[in-house]
């Protein structure tokens, strides 16, 4: 009984560990998807900046007087572009590192999950074998009990017959005397 309780406790702990790992994986997936969305936002902003830059270059060909003003705007966009490119590069590096860590964590979790399944299956097999052994013992004991009950009934019948014979004998002896 204690062995089964210990096994149940062990299985419960393993299930709790698996649930914690699954929660961690879920949170990690959420973080990675947020970073991917942020990266996509930066890319779209970069594309927008590049469009503005192209428009400014075409305006330069049309009007020389707007050149000075356009040049300052272009310089500002270039600075923003550099910041965005640096940020994008930094985010890509972060995403790669996070992906590497995620893959390592996922692999580790899968290995632990496989180990837990092996332990669970082993415990299940042991429990089934123990159950079969106990059922076999119970059947043997039932056969022994049935045999003893049958013998007891036979002895009761024999005792009854013997009692009747003794009673008859005593009765006959009383008559003779």
Give the Cβ contact number of residue 83 at 10 Å. 10
- The model's pTM is 0.38
- Residue 162 backbone phi and psi in degrees, to 5: -65, -40
State pLDDT tens for residues 16-70: 888 888 898 888 889 889 888 988 898 888 888 888 877 866 765 566 676 677 6
Angle at 123 between CA 119 and CA 127, to 5 degrees: 170
Taking the CA of residue 15 as centre, how many other CA atoms within 13 Å lie in the half-sphere pointing to its CB? 7
Identify the pLDDT of residue 102: 94
Identify the pLDDT of residue 169: 86
State pLDDT tens for residues 151-160: 999 999 999 9
């Amino acid at each position: 009984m204690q062995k089964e309780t210990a096994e149940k406790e062990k299985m419960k702990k393993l299930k709790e560990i698996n649930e914690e790992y699954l929660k961690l994986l879920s949170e990690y997936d959420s973080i990675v998807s947020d970073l991917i969305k942020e990266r996509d936002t930066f890319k779209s902003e970069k594309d927008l900046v590049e469009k503005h830059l192209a428009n400014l270059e075409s305006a330069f060909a049309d009007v020389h007087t707007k050149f000075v003003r356009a040049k300052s705007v272009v310089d500002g966009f270039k600075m923003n572009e550099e910041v965005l490119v640096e940020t994008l590069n930094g985010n890509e590096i972060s995403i790669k590192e996070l992906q590497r860590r995620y893959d390592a964590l996922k692999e580790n979790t899968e290995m632990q999950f496989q180990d837990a399944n092996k332990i669970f299956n082993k415990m299940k097999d042991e429990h089934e074998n123990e159950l079969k052994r106990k059922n076999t013992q119970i059947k043997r004991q039932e056969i022994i009990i049935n045999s003893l009950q049958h013998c007891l009934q036979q002895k009761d019948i024999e005792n009854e017959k013997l009692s009747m014979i003794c009673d008859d004998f005593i009765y006959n002896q009383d008559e003779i005397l």
